[in-house]
Amino acid sequence: MSTTPMKTHHGIHWLPETRAGRWALSLAGASVGGVAVIIVALAAGLDHGGSFTDNWVASLMGVAVFATAAASTVTGLVALSRRHDRSALVIAGTALGVLVLALTLQQVAEGLGWLNS
């Protein structure tokens, strides 16, 4: 009688195995792509404005980047904790989502004057 051996290696692998892991990776890519679009738009001459309501295009792009980074962080944490998806790309995507989320929150705090002494 022949049986297939059980998969005993539960270490880190390369590609995501779960749907939540793929979503986390896609959302992290979207948030980084959004940051790149904002950088190109500002370099091309888009006026950033003095407050949130001065330029709705820049504000909506910032909200979109914030939302995709937050969603990437949440879905990445779900994939890592509940679905046990230990792939390197899911870990990197979750870390990237946290980084973009933290940088976006820092920009909002700076714009509101919370970081001034």
Q: At what angle do helices 19-43 and 56-81 cross, to 10 degrees?
A: 160
- The DSSP call for residue 5 is P
- Copy the structure tokens of residue 66: 């914030």
More confident residue, 1 or 88: 88
More confident residue, 6 or 81: 81
List helix spans (H) across 1-117.
19-43, 56-81, 88-111
Q: Is the pTM of this model over 0.75?
A: yes
Mean pLDDT confidence for 45-51: 76
Residues 59, 66: Cα–Cα separation, whole Å: 11
- Copy the structure tokens of residue 115: 């970081």
Contacts of 80 (CB under 8 A, 6+ apart): 86, 90, 91, 94
The string of DSSP codes covering 18-33 is SHHHHHHHHHHHHHHH
